[in-house]
Chains A and B, each alone.
Chain A
């Protein structure tokens, strides 16, 4: 029996990824989640982080919604990019922006939490 399940990543503009794999690691809002085949139905949402599908495919995302049911993993995100598509310059400017936003006092704890993760994730990318 194959241990693979279907994975689909959709952004409003296009279908970013469609395929199958035996493992997906998602940066969920309350911590990292690894999904394997026959996981129970799940709905959750993401914080900034890296989505790993199998061993080869990696995506950077800032937010998103995840649904898993009947061995179909569906990721809806408006800010998702394949890691290969992000260059250093882009990355640095994104970090700068996030740090600037973080330094202002008018943001809520939840936003702080999200920005911190964003910076951390971006710094890890190389």
Chain B
């Protein structure tokens, strides 16, 4: 049975923790709004770009001199995985969810006898992955000091990926990130970015409009596809930023509530022991008086 003093101290410390989590929740809520706006603003660009690429590929004649980025190098040996996580913790299962998905993917790749290369963006993901797959990490990047992720940062990663691709260092590239659905739900996702992935259903949806191309289709595609890589990465960044704040907000909300419950429980305990000690003292006084 802890002493009264101990209980008092614990209540105090839980209360101050509660204050911290509450403040973090409110900060996350404020940041969430902004991140969500950014993610939504970024969506039209990537959607429209995908649309254009889709239209282009529709009019490309089958198997002609299509750029490698679109159809792949024909091999399926080396996989590059870009794992995008946050730089800060205390956001619930946000980072571990991405890592869990990525790790199960890694396992599959290695089981299939393929080669694996990893790029980690964000320090938290790097920490989690390095223990098990440290040997496969070829590049790591963290944008800790950056307040807001813009196209420049995404382009940096995109360029790095393209550079590796041009050196034929890998055949397929995947990115891992959390898709922001709403504040409570974020879905960890794996997306293939090289070769450019086009949903089969989209392909058959409608007959292609007849477009005029200037210059030729394949030239446009060659200009467009590297850009698309950067844009897809940017989209992942933005979704991730919103998810991080959302996840942190929920996690901190839960923590605040838990702290409240704990304080209630401790207060009851405290009052009970106080009561007990008073009763004990009274009994001692009474029995003392009786014995006289």
Q: Are A14 and B215 in contact (CB under 8 A)?
A: no
A15 and B44 in contact (CB under 8 A), knowing A45-B224, A65-B52, A69-B209?
Answer: yes
User: Which A residues lie within 8 Å of B150 (CB)?
Assistant: 12-13
Provide the bound-state CA to CA distance between A11 and B227, in Å.
Answer: 12
Per-position 1/0 for A80-96, Cβ under 8 A of B: 00000000000000000
The residue of chain A having its C-beta at the shortest distance from the C-beta of B37 within the complex is A14
With A30-B214, A65-B227 known as contacts, the answer to whether A12 contacts B151 (CB < 8 A) is: yes
Size category of the B interface is 20 to 34
Q: How far is A41 from B44 in the complex, measured between Cα atoms in Å?
A: 20
- Once A11-B45, A76-B45 are accepted as A-B contacts, the answer to whether A67 and B52 lie under 8 Å apart by CB is yes
A-B pair count, CB < 8 Å, reads: 76
Across the interface, do B42 and A12 meet the contact criterion of CB distance under 8 Å?
yes
Say whether B220 contacts A45, CB under 8 Å. Answer: yes
Complex partner residue of B38 from A13, A45, A65, CB under 8 angstroms: A13
Contacts of A14 in B (CB 8 A): 41
Q: A residues within 8 A CB of B197?
A: none
Write out, one digit per residue, whether chain B residues 96-132 have a CB within 8 A of any chain A CB (1) or not (0).
0000000000000000000000000000000000000
**B187 in contact (CB, < 8 A):** no
Q: Which residues of B contact A13 (CB under 8 A)?
A: 38, 41-42, 150-151
Show 29 residue pairs from A and B whose CB-CB distance is below 8 angstroms, ordered by the A residue: A10-B44, A12-B45, A12-B46, A12-B154, A12-B234, A13-B41, A15-B44, A29-B214, A29-B215, A29-B223, A40-B212, A41-B209, A41-B210, A42-B214, A43-B52, A43-B211, A43-B213, A43-B220, A44-B220, A45-B220, A45-B224, A65-B49, A65-B220, A67-B48, A67-B51, A67-B55, A69-B209, A76-B49, A78-B227
Residue numbers of A with Cβ under 8 A of B are 10-15, 28-30, 33, 40-45, 63, 65, 67, 69, 74, 76, 78
- B residues neighboring A (CB under 8 Å): 38, 41-42, 44-46, 48-49, 51-52, 55-56, 150-151, 154-155, 209-215, 220, 223-224, 227, 230-231, 234
